[in-house]
Structure 1
Amino acid sequence: MKPIWIVDDDQSIRWVLEKALSRANLPVRSFTGPREASAALEHDSPQVLVSDIRMAGGSGLELLQTAKQRHPGLPVIIMTAFSDLDSAVAAFQGGAFEYLAKPFDVDRAVELILRAVEESLREATDDERITEEPEILGQASAMQDVFRAIGRLSHSSATVLITGESGSGKELVARALHRHSPRASGPFIALNTAAIPKDLLESELFGHERGAFTGAQATRRGRFEQAESGTLFLDEIGDMPLDLQTRLLRVLSDGNYYRVGGHSPIKANVRVIAATHQNLEDRVRQGLFREDLYHRLNVIRLRLPSLRERSEDIPLLVRHFLQKSARELGVETKRISEAALAHLTRFPFPGNVRQLENLSNWLTVMAPAQTVEIKDLPPEFQTTAPMPGASSAQSAYPGTAAGGAAVPTSGGGHAGYGSAGNGSSAPVAGGGNVMATGAVGPGETAGVSGMPGAESWEPILRREVARLLRSASPDVMDQLTRRFETALINEALDFTRGRKVEAASRLGIGRNTITRKIQELGLES
């Protein structure tokens, strides 16, 4: 990893940050002023740049501008006086990742820098993935129709609504629409509206001013601001709360929005691409989705076919995913026999392409031979019909959760049987242990929840809800939410042996979120 650059003319500030970052095992390089750092940027770049705003040798805002010109994706943290609001606003307008108020708590400063490092590494990984891998694969006529539609839209910035089952590749299509649009040079910002708690979603979308609510210690840019001049992808738009639908409609109608707690309108120059696996017409009829917002989003609709509708693409996709998984794991690529391929083309794949990718990752790790035969497939894939005892909504296929939504295997572990999740991101094979519903010990085979005889957790949850309601227990939602989050976090921490960053990654949440949850739930002991 590249070093963190600290730019400050105050030797004590440099010394404190150097020591704190060294304790966190982060490399550090210090500069006494912006001119020295600007000169270094000509031939080198940091992982994260942390700079004071006013120094004897020049302005941190000028250094910010220089850094953004040479390295647009570089996270820059501006340090500023606690009461210097104008400087903070100027920093964000210049593209700063965040600002750090002086005097600052050292632990919080390190936490902020670690968050910027994660963002930097994630952007680098995304850029590499976009450069090295094909966008979307498909030879079926249904996919060729999608490709033609993307081509026709390549000169347009019109709003697009992408529909299709979970795991069918809606975000990949959104990225392709962005890359082949007049806004390709701008950012692509994705937000799964179903994965963000309702209370945080407004701030996540529109940002907030400092002091707008408890805990808002700094002004924060929302996704609309981050996507300026680019594309904002709103996944699972059908789950957006009604009050936020109203705010989104206003942005799409007049192009202006306000940060939470803000009083000055901000002009939005953003293309919106929305996606959902739900039937929005039904949601409108049920009063769960605004009809006027539906018509605003439904300017151009792209429907993605399920994998069942393009089964002739399965051999192409399997070979691609086996190569990809082997490359990421640094092993030889597994081959798959024609008989196994023919068998898989008859499989229903309720989790669609994401489930097929999870299967390919599993085979790379678990298949005993270099050539995969039908007998090497997981038991659930050795029949082309749902398993006895598993309902249609709870089939026991690797990488599939209730309702047929595919479950991603997050980075940092070999992809295998995914744990229950929301299926919001594509799986990535990485180094580490095999993901499974239970630990795989000597002489054991990875198991799957939903095997014959195993009960789905939803009926158990319903019974517990009914019991609490009958007993007139107060705050049922809060009780169950805390118990659910406690179970999730404890299980993830046990799985990662206490490594919070990896646990957060596997749960699909941020490092700061898991730290806050651990504190709120009293799990620190």
Structure 2
Amino acid sequence: MKPIWIVDDDPSIRFVLEKALARENLPTRSFTHPREVLDALADVTAGDPARQGPQVLVSDIRMPGGSGLQLLEKVRELQPGLPVIIMTAYSDLDSAVSAFQRGAFEYLPKPFDLPKAVELIRRAVEESQREEVTEERQTATPEMLGQAPAMQDVFRAIGRLSQSQVTVLITGESGSGKELVARALHKHSPVADGPFVAINTAAIPKDLLESELFGHERGAFTGAQTQRRGRFEQAEGGTLFLDEIGDMPFDLQTRLLRVLSDGQFYRVGGHAAVKAHVRVIAATHQNLEQRVKEGGFREDLFHRLNVIRLRLPALRERHEDVPMLTRHFLQQSARQLGVEPKRIADSALARLEQFAFPGNVRQLENICHWLTVMAPAQVISLQDLPPEVLEAPVYQPPVRATAGAEPAAATVTSMPVAPLAPVAPVAQPAPELVGGLHPAAQVSAPVSASAPAAVASWSADAAAAPVAAAHSWEQALETEAQKLLAGGQPEVWDALTRRFESRLIRTALVATHGRRMEAAQRLGIGRNTITRKIQELGLDAPDEA
């Protein structure tokens, strides 16, 4: 690990911190003047192999060789992600607050309590290490982010479709990122060198939509003074993305069906057929099967579009992606506004993970933009979150029929157009696989059937019988153990123990707002034990409050 740099003209302060950090196995390097720090940073920037940059910088605010605030500004220019702790006397509290607002990780009043100072430095080290991992992951910014199983299924499906130009229908709630999936399908396709043209069929008035799609000839209608190429012609040799296809007017659906079936169209007011060499990707937040039943959507067009269906999960279905997306959007907002990116405390992240996000990823992006502007400090705390998050009830995901088992990844076997048929829903009202491909495309998705049917019936009984709720988790544990043992999985004890301890520690940390000491006391274990468990289990533990 890189050392903690200590800058103070007082040798006693340097000595005390060096010894205390050494007992915690944290390496240190001390300086007496800010100029020495800047020279050392210059050596690191120049690539001197004998010099190692700091993990954290701890600096006094007033020194004969210069101001800690000036040092803070220059360090932030050289290493924006480096946590800087400013030490100050009580009389300098206003300066410390100013430093905090200008990018300091935290300030440390003198005289300080040594254990609290060490704990603060350790928190800064953890933050610095997280920032390093984040920077490594964002060196090449990915087009889509997601570690949740449902998103990994989407990524796999995009990979399987990378050599095909088949028509794809993307379904998902508003704000879940359907256009990003469409762009990824285009980028990883045989027509990636061609244009990607997107049009929101719900955002354009009906009278103009036909001209937007197919173009028009000169004099076709009042105001048509020149010939105009439509979106189909603009997308020639590439991909046309039809967003919110469920809102397309019924008469235009007929024209779209003709293009998909014949591969040609006519401009408005034109008589010469125009060939369309275009891959079509459509998206909707609506249930198209229901729209067909209601007479609002053509059944034959539905079949033409529904060759391969990808369902994009809502953000509340992949809450484990919230921390990664939050940090990404905070970085993005900072770049757009030309300011330093803000960090977010784990306690605030934990609360975001408990939010239902009715607006999905778009809402999280807006919240991060709001926090970049409105949060008063450089580190976003729990109380800085907007009222819509703080006042919302904790989201409880629905109980699944099988405990601890996800549907197996879908695999494409063939892709003919299938007849419209009722499909049984999978944990959703819409007949779609989570993050995978629609059964109408003849997709084999071998969902695990090893869990006994009693699990589903037990879930319903548990909801209807509060008397049995106290023993429900024990019954679920017994069912899961039976399934793993029957499946021949090795080391069942270790696997279930890790899952049990992980869930228990996370729950305790949320209940204590990230205070590890209190969480350990309430669980009846020692602080060292909970710290070790957090490290062993790889938990992203909330910050100390």
Using CA pairs below 8 Å that are at least 6 residues apart, which structure has the higher relative contact order? Answer: 2
Bigger Rg, structure 1 or 2: 2
- TM-score in terms of structure 2 length: 0.47
- TM-score in terms of structure 1 length: 0.48
